Every structure is written in C-alpha cells, then in structure tokens.
Amino acid sequence: MGAYLKILILLLILTEPVWSQNELLFFQTNWGFSGSWEAFFTKAKASGYDGVEIWFPKEKEQLQEVVQGLKKHELKVIYLCGTKRDLPFEESLSAYQNDLIRAIDQKPYAINSHTGSDFFSFEQNKKFILLANELSKKYKIPIYHETHRGRFSYSLPETKRFLDTDSNFRLTLDISHWMVVHESLLYKQAKLLDKAIQRTDHIHARVGFEEGPQVNHPQAPEWIKALERHLAIWESIISSHWKAGRPLSITTEFGPPHYLPTLPFTQMPVSDQWESNYFIMETIKKRIKNKNL
C-alpha cells in the first residue's frame, strides 16, 4: 500500500464527519394554516423548508391533491398518525394499524405518531409501540413516537419506563410538553433526558416554558432563558446524530391560537405563527454554523 494511500486512510479514520446543510432537514407544519394546499406548499418551499409535516389526509381527493403538490414543489413529507383515544383499546389499536398502513403506502420520509393514551395501561400502550415497530421494520419507513401530553410519553419518567423495556422504538422529541408537565426547564434531569435524547430521530422545535407549551414570542427578551435551554437540547441531539453519521429532521412547530396566546376579548394573536417557525429554523441553522458542528 502506497504511503499516500496510508495517509489518506488515516485521515479518514481520525476526521469527524463533515456535514452539509442538506443533511439536517427542516419541515414546516400546516397546523393552523388557513390557505389552500397549493398556497401552503408554495410558501413552505419559498421559506426554505425541505418538506412538510401534516396529518395523513383521510379523503382520497385530498390525498391526491397533497401528493401532486408535494411532487410539484419537490417537498418531502412526514405524515402524522395517532391513536384514537376516544375508542375502546382493541378498536383503537385496529384503527391505529389501518391508519399507519395507509400512510406507509404513500412512502413518506417518515411517520410521526401520537401514540397511545395516558389513560391506557402500560401493557396496552406497549402494544401500540410494538405494532408500529413491526410495521416500520417490515416496510422500512421510520415511525417516530412523539413525546406529548395525553399520550404514553406524557412525562419524562413514564417515557423512560418504555425506553427501558423496548430498545427498538425511536422518538420525536417535543421537549416543550415535558417543560409544562414537570413545571421545569429540566436542568436537573440530565440523566433522564440523555436517555430520551439518544433515542430521538426527529425534533419538534417549539419553545415552551414552565407554565405552558408555547411562549408568546420566541424573540421576546423575557424568554431568552427558555429559548437557550431548548436550543441547547436540540444542539445536543444534532451533534449526537452527526457524530454517529445519522441524519436528523426537525419540524418547526409553533402552533396557532389558542396554542398561540391571544389578546382577551378580541382573540387577536400576539405574534405571527409562521414568522416564529421561520425564526426557529434560521436560529438553529446559524447556531450550528457558528459552532461548526
């Protein structure tokens, strides 16, 4: 083996992966968007998003419109599916399976799942996770389980119980939900958080705080502590993935009223939802660029 080739191999072994911007994919939510699908796709593309995250359309005509729009604007898609919590367990599990299979059939980039219910038992919730695991493995479509109030993953300690008993499922980390549940920015929960971070493949980037799932404006100075806390957690996930050579996706997910606070009586929103989501995307991009992750 020539000396040049030996040096080249050594450099490849010692050098950490160099990542391009395309290897961190940003998705935009249509939650609260009042325009047409065409208007949403056009705006998402113009804003610099790689794809969109939307609930899987139930109507055939709507699905066709979505599929055509995604192709026209060259956007990836993450479909949302979820457990129907108002149904008895067995019916809910069957409906969940049907919804996942329909979404999988469209070959999305991934599926984000609102899984189980905080009113189902531990064993019942495990069956939803196991079902998703089996379908994900069979069809080779990632299915991520979102950390979300009202679901099996409503709290950090409860989610750890599932992580400890099942090594196969992956998370969508929406840390804002746990901030509310635990009335804390979770500074003292590094050990528990690390377990969730290591199992996260998708992020919902919304800034919550100790008393609510969404600050009224992410650029307001009074929320700098909450913003920095979320950015630090997201950065740790990005860094972990890139060092391991794994891709990562992020959906900016500031929501509309009444997730977005409004003024009393007039119900006027106190900030612009799209602007907040765009700000979060650009802030993450600048942060990782400045830190040379």
Note the pLDDT of residue 21: 40
Cβ–Cβ under 8 Å, residues 153 and 147: yes
Cβ–Cβ under 8 Å, residues 170 and 144: yes
Average pLDDT over residues 67-95: 98
The model's pTM: 0.91
Angle between helices 224-243 and 273-290 (to 10 degrees): 50
Helices (H), 199-253: 224-243
Return the structure tokens found at 269: 């929103």
Note the pLDDT of residue 23: 83
- The answer, yes or no, to whether residue 292 has pLDDT greater than 90, is no
- The answer, yes or no, to whether residue 188 has pLDDT greater than 80, is yes
**Separation between Cα atoms, residue 293 and residue 290, nearest integer Å:** 8
Return the structure tokens found at 136: 């994900």
Cα-based torsion angle of the residue sequence 73, 98, 256, 235 in order, rounded to the nearest 10 degrees:
-70
Across the chain, mean pLDDT equals 92
**Separation between Cα atoms, residue 140 and residue 137, nearest integer Å:** 5
pLDDT tens sequence across 49-62? 999 999 999 999 99
Residue reference for tokens 């509310």 = 180
Note the pLDDT of residue 293: 63
- The answer, yes or no, to whether residue 37 has pLDDT greater than 70, is yes
**Separation between Cα atoms, residue 90 and residue 160, nearest integer Å:** 25
Q: What is the DSSP letter of 29?
A: E
* DSSP three-state, residue 61: helix
Q: Of 13-27, 40-54, 147-161, which gets the smallest average pLDDT?
A: 13-27
Sequence-distant (6+) residues with CB within 8 A of 258 are none
Cβ–Cβ under 8 Å, residues 231 and 205: no
**Separation between Cα atoms, residue 41 and residue 1, nearest integer Å:** 53
**Separation between Cα atoms, residue 227 and residue 218, nearest integer Å:** 7
Helix (H) or strand (E) holding 92: helix 89-104
Q: Minimal CA–CA distance to 172: which of 141, 205, 140, 139?
A: 205
Type of residue found at 201: D
Per-residue pLDDT band for 14 (boundaries 50, 70, 90) equals very low
* 21-290 classified as CATH 3.90.1150.10: no
- The answer, yes or no, to whether residue 289 has pLDDT greater than 90, is no
**Separation between Cα atoms, residue 222 and residue 111, nearest integer Å:** 35
| Phi and psi angles of residue 80, each rounded to the nearest 5 degrees, phi first | -95, 135
Per-residue pLDDT band for 2 (boundaries 50, 70, 90) equals low
Average pLDDT over residues 113-138: 98
**Separation between Cα atoms, residue 248 and residue 240, nearest integer Å:** 10
pLDDT tens sequence across 195-211? 999 999 999 999 999 99
Note the pLDDT of residue 1: 47
Average pLDDT over residues 133-157: 98
Share above pLDDT 90 across residues of the chain, in percent, rounded to a whole number? 88
Q: Of 10-24, 67-81, 202-216, which gets the smallest average pLDDT?
A: 10-24
Q: Minimal CA–CA distance to 25: which of 201, 146, 174?
A: 201
Note the pLDDT of residue 291: 74
